[in-house]
C-alpha cells in the first residue's frame, strides 16, 4: 500500500476504487505489527476496526458515509472508548473498561472515523518524554535511542511512522505540541473550552485540552470541525458556534506576528533551531507580513506557576483512584487504610506520586496562600500580558521546543530538568489560548523540529488558516 499523508488523498482513492476502507485498515494493522518495537500502541482493536471499515465501505457505496470516512485514527490512552480498556498508561487502572464514550470519540465515530487502537503515553499525561508509562518507553521512529516526546508520545509516533493517518492526544502544558515537534508532525492544541473534556481522564482540569496529530493542517482543521462545540457533559466547554474550519483555510496578507525576544535569546535554545526561526521570520517579512519582537519579562515564571497549579489540580483529580471503587487493588491490603495506602503506593508510578505530593503540599493549610493563591495571581498576570500582546498582533511565533528529541534516560535523574522541556509551550495552557506546532525544520542530526504559533482565545479558525498558509509555501 502506498503511504497516505492526507484524508483528501485517501478519499480520492476510495472514490476511484483503488483502495477500500477495509484494505486500508488492514494495511495499517500490518504496519503496526511490523513496528511493534516502537511501542506506540498499547492495544489494537483489530477485529472491530476491520468490521467497522467494512460497514463504512458499504456506506461509501450508497453515498451515506460521514466526513471522516477513510480516516484511520488512534486515541491516546486517557480518552474513554466504551467497552474498551483505558488506563492512562498506569497500573492503577488495570482491568478497567470504560462504561461510556468520550464526547470526541462519539463525534468522530458519527462521522465514520475508524479507531484502530489506543496509544501509549506518559502515566496520567505527566511527562515530556513518554518514559513515565507503566508499559514502557515509546521509541522515536527515526532514531530508536531517542524519546518521542510526551506526554502524547505514542500518538505522535503513530502518525509520524505512518501507523495510522491521525491520532488524538491531550495537551496540558505542551503534551501535543512538544512530541509533534520531536516527531515532525502537525500538533494542534485548541482554545481551552473549544473541545469537550468529557471522557478525558483529568490531569489538571483548567489546563487540559484534547487535540489532533496529523500530517496536514487541513486534516487537523477537519477533526477540529467535527470535535469542537457545546456539550451538555462538560460545563466548561464554550457555547460559541463552531466555524467550518476545513473550508476556511484561505491565505491572508498583512498578518501581524510577534515573537518574544527572551525566547529567542534563551541560553538553552539550539543554535540551528534559532537560525531556522530567524530565517522563518525573514521569510514571513518578505511575504508582506509584519514580524516584530516584543517584551515578555515573565518567561522564567511560567514553568514554576504551571507546576504549582497543575500539581494542585492533579492532587485533587487523582484522589478518585483509591483501590476501592475500580482498577488496581493491592493484594497485601488487610483493612481500609492499608487498601488506600498500598494500592496507591503500588499503583502509581514515581512521577505521578511526586506530583500528587507536590500538589498536596501547595494546597495544605500552611502553604495554600504562599503557593496556590500566589500561583493563581501570577496566572492572571501572565494571561493579561499575553492578551495585551494579542491586542496588537494576530499571532505569537516561537520555537516549539528548545532542541530536538533527546536520548532515552538523559533527563530522568533530575525532574526539574525535564520540567523545563515545557518552557515554550506552557504559556498557551496557562492563558487558555490556541496553539500549534508545525513541522518546518530538520536538524543536521537528522531529526525534525517544529515552530509554534499561538493565537488569541477562540481564534482557532484564523490560526488554522495561517498555519495552512505556512505549510503550503
CA 298 to chain centre: 24
Set 20, 76, 89, 196: catalytic member: 76
What is the layout of strands, in order, in the sheet containing 395-399? 41-44, 114-119, 72-76, 166-171, 209-214, 186-189, 434-442, 448-455, 395-399, 256-260, 290-294
Task: Say how far apart CA 321 and CA 319 lie, in whole Å.
Answer: 5
CB 158 within 8 A of CB 202: no
Q: Would you call 155 a catalytic residue per the annotation?
A: no
Set 175, 198, 266, 315: catalytic member: 175
| 73: exposed, middle or buried (Cβ count in 10 Å: 0-12, 13-18, 19+) | buried
Q: Would you call 205 a catalytic residue per the annotation?
A: no
Only one residue has cell 469537550, namely: 196
DSSP helix/strand/coil, 307? helix
DSSP helix/strand/coil, 12? helix
User: For residue 222, what are the contacts with CB-CB under 8 A and spacing of at least 6?
Assistant: 7, 67, 68, 245, 246
CB 395 within 8 A of CB 443: no
Q: Would you call 76 a catalytic residue per the annotation?
A: yes
DSSP helix/strand/coil, 76? strand
- For the four alpha carbons of 197, 201, 205 and 207, in that order, the dihedral sign comes to negative
Set 89, 128, 129, 151: catalytic member: 151
Active-site positions read 76, 151, 175
Amino acid at each position: 500500500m502506498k503511504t497516505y499523508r492526507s484524508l483528501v488523498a485517501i478519499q480520492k482513492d476510495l472514490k476511484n476504487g483503488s483502495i477500500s476502507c477495509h484494505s486500508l485498515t488492514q494495511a495499517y494493522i500490518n504496519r503496526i505489527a511490523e513496528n511493534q518495537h516502537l511501542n506506540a500502541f498499547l492495544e489494537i482493536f483489530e477485529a472491530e476496526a476491520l468490521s467497522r471499515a467494512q460497514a463504512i465501505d458499504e456506506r461509501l457505496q450508497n453515498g451515506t458515509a460521514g466526513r471522516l470516512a477513510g480516516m484511520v485514527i488512534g486515541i491516546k490512552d486517557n480518552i474513554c472508548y466504551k467497552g474498551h480498556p483505558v488506563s492512562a498508561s498506569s497500573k492503577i487502572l488495570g482491568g478497567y473498561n470504560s462504561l461510556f464514550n468520550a464526547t470526541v470519540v462519539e463525534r468522530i465515530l458519527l462521522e465514520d472515523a475508524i479507531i484502530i487502537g489506543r496509544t501509549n503515553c506518559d502515566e496520567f499525561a505527566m511527562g515530556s518524554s513518554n518514559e513515565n508509562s507503566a508499559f514502557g518507553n515509546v521509541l522515536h521512529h527515526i532514531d530508536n535511542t531517542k524519546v518521542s516526546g510526551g506526554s502524547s508520545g505514542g500518538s505522535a509516533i503513530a502518525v509520524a511512522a505512518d501507523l495510522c493517518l491521525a491520532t488524538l492526544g491531550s495537551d496540558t502544558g505542551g503534551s501535543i505540541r512538544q512530541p509533534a515537534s520531536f516527531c515532525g508532525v502537525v500538533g494542534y492544541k485548541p482554545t481551552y473550552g473549544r473541545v469537550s473534556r468529557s471522557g478525558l481522564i483529568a490531569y489538571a482540569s483548567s489546563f487540559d485540552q484534547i487535540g489532533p496529530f496529523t500530517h496536514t493542517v487541513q486534516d487537523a482543521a477537519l477533526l477540529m470541525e467535527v470535535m469542537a462545540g457545546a456539550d451538555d457533559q462538560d460545563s466548561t466547554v464554550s457555547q460559541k458556534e463552531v466555524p467550518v474550519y476545513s473550508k476556511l483555510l484561505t491565505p491572508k496578507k498583512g498578518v501581524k506576528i510577534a515573537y518574544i525576544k527572551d525566547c529567542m535569546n534563551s541560553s538553552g535554545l539550539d543554535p540551528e533551531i534559532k537560525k531556522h526561526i530567524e530565517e522563518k521570520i525573514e521569510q514571513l517579512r518578505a511575504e508582506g507580513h509584519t514580524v516584530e519582537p516584543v517584551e515578555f519579562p515573565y518567561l522564567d515564571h511560567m514553568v514554576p506557576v504551571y507546576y504549582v497549579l497543575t500539581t494542585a489540580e492533579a492532587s485533587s483529580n487523582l484522589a478518585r483512584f483509591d483501590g476501592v471503587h475500580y482498577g488496581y487493588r493491592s493484594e497485601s491490603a488487610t483493612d481500609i487504610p492499608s487498601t488506600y495506602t498500598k494500592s496507591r503506593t503500588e499503583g502509581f508510578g514515581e512521577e505521578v506520586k511526586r506530583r500528587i505530593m507536590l500538589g498536596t503540599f501547595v494546597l495544605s493549610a500552611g502553604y495554600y496562600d504562599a503557593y496556590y493563591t500566589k500561583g493563581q495571581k501570577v496566572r492572571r498576570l501572565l494571561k493579561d500580558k499575553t492578551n495585551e500582546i494579542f491586542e496588537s498582533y494576530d499571532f505569537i511565533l516561537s520555537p516549539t521546543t528548545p532542541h530536538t528529541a533527546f536520548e532515552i534516560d538523559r533527563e530522568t535523574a533530575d525532574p526539574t530538568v525535564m520540567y523545563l522541556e515545557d518552557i515554550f509551550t506552557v504559556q498557551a495552557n496557562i492563558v487558555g489560548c490556541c496553539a500549534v506546532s508545525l513541522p518546518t525544520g530538520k536538524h543536521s542530526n537528522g531529526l525534525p523540529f517544529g515552530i509554534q504559533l499561538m493565537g488569541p482565545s477562540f481564534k482557532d479558525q484564523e490560526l488554522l488558516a495561517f498555519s495552512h498558509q505556512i505549510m503550503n509555501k
